Structure 1
Amino acid sequence: MTKAKKSDFRPDDFVVYPAHGVGKIVSIEEQEVAGMTLELFVISFEKDKMTLRVPTHKATEAGLRQLASADEVEHAMKTLKGKAKVKKAMWSRRAQEYEQKINSGDLIAIAEVVRDLHRADDQREQSYSERQLYEAALERLTREIAAASGNDESSAAEKIGSVLVSRAA
């Protein structure tokens, strides 16, 4: 992974912040904190009605990255087509691993969670916590694929849905 420099991010760029998913840099501002002047990226997560300020010199360390490339999106879609890999570990342990993958901000890891937790109509019901993790991962995946491909979220969701359904068939 190439190390992104401050200059790699500009206002109006869509970026991915690991713990929150896709956001948009609205501005770069200076703010005085404890007597020091800090330069900050102001990132808006419209869907969550949230604004995040990340020091520009810590952005890469914090995991801020550009949107996935077309190749990465293609890799994520291939990952979705694969067979679900469900470990025999206790649910609490697996849930923790899924949570870490979702919050890693890694598109492929998020696609793995969607693949592993997806249920076809004829499969057993998901537990509440399984469904929560599945929906969180699916939302992150959908938002990034939509932003990376310049489409709206509903067409990205359709594309993902058709891959998941074709896999189950």
Structure 2
Amino acid sequence: MFKVGDHVVYPYHGAGTIRDIEEKDVLGETHSYFVLHFPLVDVKLMLPEKKIDGSGLRKIIEQDELDNVVEALKNGPELPPSTSHFSKETENLLKSGSIFDAAHLISSLSKKQAGRSNGLHIQDRNHLQKAKQMIASELVLVNNMSEEQAYEFIDSNLLELS
């Protein structure tokens, strides 16, 4: 299970830290809540302990898994996700909480962007930015990088796409 001080990833929010476990009285019942803080977006979230198992919450990756992230950034799927405004596939990749899904999405959308003279559709640009933010938030905690260094890490591993 998780404890105060653990660095974790919560799907679609990115990486943060468990700051506290609080007891709250709700309708006469006492419940435990994990208090998560996401520093890159400066958000605090309270997650009920009884919903942790189904929430997708996971510990951040280990340092030795960074090479796999680089590989995913460089070698994502050739076919980018649908440009449909309601792309379920793209949303599901972001909601999975997997750093590797986010890296594949960045790779695919970057390839798509490189192949288009007029850039990406607004929804694709938003998905690309969200995926980069999710990876950057985890890199900051895994590799003790600054936010700027994390984004540079992502972009430098995409250079071969141009």
TM-score (norm 1): 0.83
Q: Distance in 2 between matches of 1:121 and 1:63?
A: 30
Alignment of structure 1 residues 108-119 onto 2, 5 Å: 108-119=100-111
Alignment of structure 1 residues 87-98 onto 2, 5 Å: 90-92=82-84, 95-98=87-90
Q: Distance in 2 between matches of 1:123 and 1:85?
A: 12
Alignment of structure 1 residues 6-155 onto 2, 5 Å: 9-82=2-75, 84-86=77-79, 90-92=82-84, 95-119=87-111, 123-124=115-116, 125-155=119-149
What's the CA shift string for 1:78-120, capped at 9, x where partnerless? Answer: 0111154215x85228832111111110111111100000158
Shift of 1:12: 2.6
Residues 105 and 151 of structure 1, relative CA distance in 2, 3 Å threshold: same
Residues 90 and 30 of structure 1, relative CA distance in 2, 3 Å threshold: closer
* One-letter identity of the residue aligned with 2:87: A
Indicate the SS of the match to 1:115: helix
Q: Is the 8 A contact 1:16 1:65 kept in 2?
A: yes
Q: Distance in 2 between matches of 1:105 and 1:121?
A: 23
Q: Distance in 2 between matches of 1:153 and 1:168?
A: 23
Q: Is the 8 A contact 2:9 2:15 kept in 1?
A: yes
Q: Is the 8 A contact 1:80 1:114 kept in 2?
A: yes
TM-score (norm 2): 0.86
Indicate the SS of the match to 1:48: coil
Structure 1 unaligned residues grouped into runs of 5+: none
Residues 94 and 119 of structure 1, relative CA distance in 2, 3 Å threshold: farther
Q: Distance in 2 between matches of 1:120 and 1:86?
A: 8
- Aligned residues: CA RMSD: 2.3
| Number of equivalenced pairs | 160
What's the CA shift string for 1:23-47, capped at 9, x where partnerless? Answer: 2211111011122111111112233
Residues 66 and 101 of structure 1, relative CA distance in 2, 3 Å threshold: same
* One-letter identity of the residue aligned with 2:155: G
Residues 94 and 26 of structure 1, relative CA distance in 2, 3 Å threshold: same
